[in-house]
Amino acid sequence: MRLAVLLTSVCGLLAQEATVAEAGRILQKNCLGCHGQAAMSGLDLRSRETLLKGGTRGAAITPGNASSSVLFGFVSGARKPVMPPSGALKPDEIAAIKGWIEAGAPELALGKTPEPKYWAFVPPVHKDYGGNAIDVFYPSTKVADKRTLVRRAYLDLLGLPPTPVQVDAFVKDENPGAWPRLIDQLLASPHYGERWARHWLDLVRYADSAGYEFDRDRPTAWRFRDYVVNSLNADKPYDQLIREHLAGDESPKPTPDELIATGYLRHGPEANIRTEQTRLDELDDLISTTGGAFMGLTIGCARCHDHKFDPIPQKDYFKLQAVFYNTEYANHPLADAETIARNVAENKRIDALQKPAKQAVLDFLKPTRDRMTEAKRASLPEYMQLALRTPPEKRTEGQVLNAKQVEVTLKISDEDVLKQLSASEKARHKELVAAVEAFDKQRPPEYAAALGIKNGKKYSPEHQPGVVSAAALKPVSFGPQNLRSTLASWIASPENPLTARVFVNRIFLQHFGEAFVDTPSNFGKSGSGVKKQELLDWLATEFVENGWSVKKLHRLMMTSKYYQSHLRPRRMEAEIVRDSVLAAAGTLDLKMGGPGIYPYIDPALWQGSSGRKWPGKSDEDPSTWRRGIYVFTKRTIPVPMLDVYDKPDTVASCSRRNRSTTSIQALIMMNGSFVEVQSKKFAERLLREAGAEPRAQVDHGFRLALGREPTPSERDKALSFLRGNETGLVDFCQTLFNLNEFAYIP
């Protein structure tokens, strides 16, 4: 009898221990992120003492009585939490929490045993695999045919299809070193920088306009785009690129490149109204973009509270904010001091001469404007007129708002005034305006300037600068000056566990269409997780050992047997589809750099956008036949062909473009005026280069568009289509542009 009682007692204790252990596991997994060290709502679950103390709603538990415990009310659904958990608990989990409380709520000791450090915050380890480790992790023996490989390499590295001559040269080269030699030739091409700069510009949310309602143009933003192109072509070490982006202006004697590089800190959307709130939003853009682009961390999630998933406390967010807090907008002059002084002096002289002419225009319009203003004022409701009559210092709060509203309402534009003038008065106004413009024509050319940022005098009063503590292997000391330089040096340090991994992951994604981390700007716990970490670490350490050379990283990946195997085809980006059309048609203008171009956009697509003008007049304008990277990026006016092929909106950093397949893509390739114009040019090229014989035209068309000969079946169908069809050759060319094969990297 005593033995039975003893066994029953032991079994009960074991069951209770299991219930307590299960309750601890459930709370650890679901609740400790917010109610551990963060102690949201004042509640800390890490000890029995703090559970009994509770938070803003009082004690969390009543030992022995689950039904009266606040905590059990939340987990069971009897109470509605202010911020619901990510998912409701299962019945057996709720029962475990109840059993633990009913058992007197024994100590759980949550959070006392630290979790292993998350992999992304542990420095990568280099292992020797006796060769290219990519082929160890992705063993592949079957090599793609040479025509596929040469087209893949050209489109991948240059974003341009190879010419028939280039294809034939590689196919006929039997030298075992032909492939690495081709890679080196392509990496040495100036068009390499144009292709790979596009990926980086997506990431740093580059645009030629400021966004929001006014979407003001940024006439000098293109210098940053050219800086990225030139830096990649020069194989500027990636760690140097980081330092220039974040703190180029803090160099002892900044070079033009270093000043232009700070455009990275200006390329986010710019609020139309400058207030403390919009300033904080701009700082948030800098913190979020810097964290995601360089370190793969969603630091912006810690703006309002400690990060829900990653060990990034809110204080780290404000430490980073303090790094950028004292910055202000700058247009860095790229001319010498003498040129600048001469330019300023000459403009002041012309301003003085022009002032009477400007005043004459104002005086001429004033009588009509005054009459119109008075008429508008008389039509206002009485309460608004009363607000205007009341002296400003005696206005109520409502009258202050009314008066401001009236000021906007009473504004009358020059266009409205001109509508009221007679024909002779309009002619006189035109003469006066011409006198003003005559002085403008005398102004000296503007000296070159770069959109950027500089240090001001306003420091964060509440927070000291710092870095992401979880990724800092040792303390980072900030001095009173050059805060961004200190941050940049920490990010670009070989000891930073994230920077090299994040960049290597991005390059691998672009080459292979897959990544070690499928969320390239989120290496945290809320991201996709990591695959083949050992290979990622090997590539990251090789990247640093090779002096952060991006070109050597390309070569390492592309000379692997895996890259030369049968990879899954990848749809080309919007700009490369457009560039390939121009290249096949023989119309592509390869001029590099300079201000953006304006392809034609149907006015119906942008006519209602606050009176903005889009200069592009025609798809037949050869000045617009440049590479897609040079298309002016207006945030509120996307170019349709690029837009339907998933060009990002540039409002925020884009780490990975969508690759959608939609009917609109087919429609724009079949009916869009750009493709129609280029199809005609392509047909003219075939007549010019292949002659009048249809078979030669078909074969040459396939070689130019797809880098190969047509199959016998394709040739027969094409020839049948051309017979007796007046527009057959143009339609044939447009059909080639519409093939899946044309838009894919093989």
* 324 shares a domain with 218: yes
* 313 shares a domain with 195: yes
* Residue 551, pLDDT above cutoff 50: yes
pLDDT score at 691: 94
In a domain, 225, yes or no: yes
* Residue 451, pLDDT above cutoff 90: yes
In a domain, 231, yes or no: yes
Distances (CA, A) of 166 to 174, 180, 213, 559: 14, 15, 47, 19
Span 590-601, pLDDT tens digits:
999 999 999 998
Tell me how crowded residue 415 is: count the other CB atoms within 10 A of its CB: 8
Pairing of β 570-571 and β 327-333: unpaired
Which of 523, 548, 573 lies at the terminal end of a domain, its last residue? 548
> What are the helix (H) ranges across 379-422?
382-389, 397-409, 414-419
Spatial separation of the C-alpha atoms in residues 506 and 430, rounded to whole Å = 56
* 463 shares a domain with 434: no
Spatial separation of the C-alpha atoms in residues 727 and 542, rounded to whole Å = 55
pLDDT, average across residues 653-668: 94
Q: How many domains does the chain have?
A: 4
* Residue 10, pLDDT above cutoff 60: no
Percent of the chain with pLDDT over 90: 69
* 387 shares a domain with 313: no
Which of 548, 576, 611 lies at the terminal end of a domain, its last residue? 548
Its domain, for residue 420, covers 347-440
* Residue 276, pLDDT above cutoff 90: no
pLDDT score at 174: 93
* Residue 112, pLDDT above cutoff 80: no
For 303, phi then psi, to 5°, come to: -70, -40
Span 322-346, pLDDT tens digits:
999 999 999 999 998 899 999 999 9
Spatial separation of the C-alpha atoms in residues 342 and 350, rounded to whole Å = 12
531 versus 29: the higher-pLDDT residue is 531
In a domain, 645, yes or no: no
For 254, phi then psi, to 5°, come to: -60, 135
**3-state SS track over 204-232:** CCCCCECCCCCCCECCCCHHHHHHHHHHH
Identify the band that residue 578 occupies on the pLDDT scale cut at 50, 70 and 90.
very high
In a domain, 583, yes or no: no
* 416 shares a domain with 502: no
pLDDT score at 629: 98
Judge residue 599's burial from the number of C-beta atoms within 10 Å of its C-beta, 0-12 exposed, 13-18 middle, 19 or more buried: buried
* Residue 4, pLDDT above cutoff 80: no
pLDDT score at 84: 46
pLDDT score at 15: 56
pLDDT, average across residues 526-544: 97
pLDDT score at 605: 67
* 320 shares a domain with 351: no
In a domain, 369, yes or no: yes
* 326 shares a domain with 374: no
Encoded amino acid at 627, one letter: R
Which of 516, 548, 580 lies at the terminal end of a domain, its last residue? 548
* 371 shares a domain with 244: no
pLDDT score at 389: 87
Span 155-180, pLDDT tens digits:
999 999 999 999 999 999 999 899 99
* 425 shares a domain with 305: no
Q: What CA dihedral angle connects 730, 733, 738 and 742, to 10 degrees?
A: -160
pLDDT score at 54: 80
* 34 shares a domain with 86: yes
DSSP element (H, E) containing 327: strand 327-333
Span 371-397, pLDDT tens digits:
988 888 888 888 888 888 899 899 898
* 434 shares a domain with 465: no
As given in the structure block, the two tokens for residue 465 are: 């600068």
For 50, phi then psi, to 5°, come to: -75, -25
Q: DSSP letters of 716-738?
A: HHHHHHHTT-TTHHHHHHHHHHT
In a domain, 130, yes or no: no
Identify the band that residue 100 occupies on the pLDDT scale cut at 50, 70 and 90.
confident
* Residue 413, pLDDT above cutoff 70: yes
In a domain, 603, yes or no: no
As given in the structure block, the two tokens for residue 344 are: 């300023």
Whole-structure pTM value: 0.82
SS3 523: coil
**3-state SS track over 161-203:** CCCHHHHHHHHHCCCCCHHHHHHHHHHCCHHHHHHHHHHHHHH
* 390 shares a domain with 307: no
In a domain, 153, yes or no: no
Tell me how crowded residue 743 is: count the other CB atoms within 10 A of its CB: 21
pLDDT score at 6: 40
- Average model confidence (pLDDT) across the chain: 90
